[in-house]
Amino acid sequence: MDFIGKNVIITGGASGIGRAVTNGVIESGGTAIIVDINTEAAESVQKAFGSDRIYIYKADMSNPDEIRRVFSQIIHDLGQIHILINSAGIVSKKPFENISQEEWDRVISINLTGVFASISSVYLHMVQKGYGRIVNVASVAGKIGGGLLGTSAYAASKAGVIGLTKAVAREGAAKSIACNAVCPAMTMTPMILSEPEETQNRIKAAIPMKRGAQPREVANVILFYASDLASFVTGEISDVDGGITMDG
């Protein structure tokens, strides 16, 4: 995959799947723009690759106004954004009857509204430039209703991302914008690794491959969709889940 000359925004690009995507962009010659609330983690990534290859912008993904302000600054600073990868997100693990309105609102605001705000911040810019690749990180939870780690609020937010991805793909196709999504299952990020071993083993038992994905295994599929190798692909929702869904 070749990202030479491409400016790539990665929300949540300082850790987990997002960091693996950042690494892949840099290794393939691109410029990575990390948008993350954790600037300390982002700076450690920048230190590894150099400030000429990685730019850092702090944004609270639950605040649409802040997202739009930061993205506007990025466009001003970089000139053109070729690719947007929405990786930032949070999980909700409580049973449905225990989810408060506050928790529901926060999960939806970051996982779905934040994705909408990010896309809408670059969509017209991409239309004007005649080029755009958007990849959203959804989840198998959005297809099967949770049941692994995330529950109803998380599943609903990710189902929304799937629907939004298809809508943007449909409307953007004639305007040289492709939009696809990737649905991971258990991925061995710091969030999962912090879970009790019993919880990890329970989730692995539900996966036909009987293991979790390494972040780079998910990132590889994201990077494919972000690259020109997927030049005739849009509106696709790809599972990277070790065989949980197997849908056609």
- Comparing CA positions, the residue from 242, 45, 234 lying closest to residue 132 is 234
Q: Is 154 a catalytic residue?
A: yes
Tokens 């605040």 correspond to what residue?
Answer: 63
Compute the distance between CA of residue 248 and CA of residue 27 in angstroms, rounded to an integer.
Answer: 33
Residue with tokens 């779905």: 112
Q: How far apart are CA 222 and CA 182, in angstroms?
A: 7
| Cβ 74 vs Cβ 33: under 8 Å | yes
SS3 at position 239 = strand
* Residue that is written with structure tokens 């061995």 in the block: 188
Check 55, 57, 154, 225 and give the catalytic one: 154
Tokens of 105: 């609102």
Per DSSP, the three-state class of 38 is coil
Catalytic site positions: 154
